[in-house]
């Protein structure tokens, strides 16, 4: 049984019992006459029946339960509406970013992705997009410190984010950390279709990183 309904019945029974005591006790406190006794018995018999009849006319515990559910829905509605508005705003700025990417306007791309992250700081697509927009404004496609941090946050939130893994590999390669570049790209390679052109490109980059790792190891060995 619904807890609300159970509480209602218990409260109703208690109220009827109290009412009976208040009415019948004074009638029986002293030696009652036959007429008083008849009144008391009649009250005991009639009052519960009357209460049940009135209950059937003016209210039910299910009505109380419905009111509680309505109140819960009404209290939740503003939160849901706010979340939907947030999603719509994020989608609108993402659309602006994609349009700017098509038009190749890096400043507008970066601005749109910053707006997305201001609304939803954990939007990994915006993190990666902002990094790519910054790279495109450097002749050597260098990835600066804040961009590296964004990529690391993106991978922390989404470990299999392919674009973030690709760029993190580039970061390591630019820093001459070839083992880390190779490790990052191997993770990426495991997520790709082995027959895809992207997989072949990643495999080539891994081979280059491994080759440079070996060259460095040989140089260090000779220097000993």
pTM check: above 0.75:
no
Look at residue 221 in the predicted model and tell me its pLDDT.
Answer: 82
Read off the pLDDT of each residue in 176-199 and give the average, rounded to a whole number.
96
Which tens digit of pLDDT belongs to each residue from 18-49? 555 555 455 555 555 555 555 555 554 555 55
Residues of the chain above pLDDT 90, percent: 54
How far is it between the farthest Cα atoms of the chain?
A: 123
pLDDT digits (tens, 9 = 90+) for 88-145: 999 999 999 999 999 999 999 999 999 999 999 999 999 999 999 999 888 788 899 9
Q: Which residue has the higher pLDDT, 54 or 33?
A: 33
Question: pLDDT for 66-86, tens place per residue?
Answer: 545 555 555 555 557 788 899
With helix as H, strand as E and coil as C, how does 3-49 read? HHHHHHHHHHHHHHHHHHHHHHHHHHCCCCCHHHHHHHHHHHHHHHH
pLDDT at 155: 97
Phi-psi region of 206 (alpha: psi -120 to 50; beta: other; left: phi over 0): alpha
Tokens of 221: 């060995």
Above 70 in pLDDT, residue 3? no
* Domain topology for 122-224: 1.25.40
Q: Which helix (H) or strand (E) holds 50?
A: helix 34-58
Is residue 94 within 8 Å of residue 116, measured between CB atoms?
Answer: yes
Per-residue pLDDT at 17 exceeds 60: no
Question: What is the DSSP secondary-structure string of 80-148?
Answer: HHHHHHHHHHHHHHHHHHHHHHHHT-HHHHHHHHHHHHHH-TT-HHHHHHHHHHHHTTSTT----HHHH
- Residues ≥6 apart with Cβ < 8 Å to 137: 106
pLDDT higher than threshold 60 for residue 191: yes
Confidence band of 5 (pLDDT split at 50, 70, 90): very low
Query: What is the model's pLDDT at position 182?
Result: 97
Q: What is the pLDDT of residue 101?
A: 93
Give the residue among 131, 107, 101, 105 at the shortest CA–CA distance from 117: 131
- 17 or 192, greater pLDDT: 192
Q: Mean pLDDT over residues 206-214, rounded?
A: 96
Whole-number pLDDT of residue 64: 44
Whether pLDDT at 2 is above 70: no
Mean of the per-residue pLDDT values for the chain? 79
Q: Where are the domains of the chain?
A: 3-59, 78-121, 122-224
């Amino acid at each position: 049984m619904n807890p609300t309904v159970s509480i209602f019945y218990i409260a109703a029974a208690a109220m009827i019992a109290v009412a009976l005591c208040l009415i019948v006790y004074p009638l029986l406190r002293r030696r009652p006459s036959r007429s008083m006794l008849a009144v008391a018995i009649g009250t005991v018999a009639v009052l519960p029946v009357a209460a049940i009849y009135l209950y059937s006319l003016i209210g039910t515990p299910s009505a109380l339960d419905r009111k509680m559910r309505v109140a819960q829905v009404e209290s939740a509605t503003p939160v849901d509406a706010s979340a939907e508005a947030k999603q719509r705003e994020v989608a609108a700025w993402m659309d602006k970013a994609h349009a700017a990417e098509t038009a190749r306007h890096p400043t507008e791309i970066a601005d749109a992705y910053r707006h997305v992250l201001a609304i939803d700081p954990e939007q990994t697509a915006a993190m990666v997009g902002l990094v790519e927009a910054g790279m495109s404004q450097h002749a050597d496609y260098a990835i600066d410190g804040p961009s590296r941090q964004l990529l690391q946050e993106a991978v922390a939130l989404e470990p299999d984010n392919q674009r973030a893994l690709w760029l993190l590999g580039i970061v390591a390669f630019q820093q001459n950390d070839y083992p880390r570049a190779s490790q990052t790209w191997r993770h990426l390679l495991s997520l790709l279709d082995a027959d895809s052109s992207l997989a072949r490109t990643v495999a080539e980059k891994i081979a280059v990183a491994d080759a440079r790792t070996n060259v460095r190891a040989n140089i260090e060995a000779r220097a000993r």
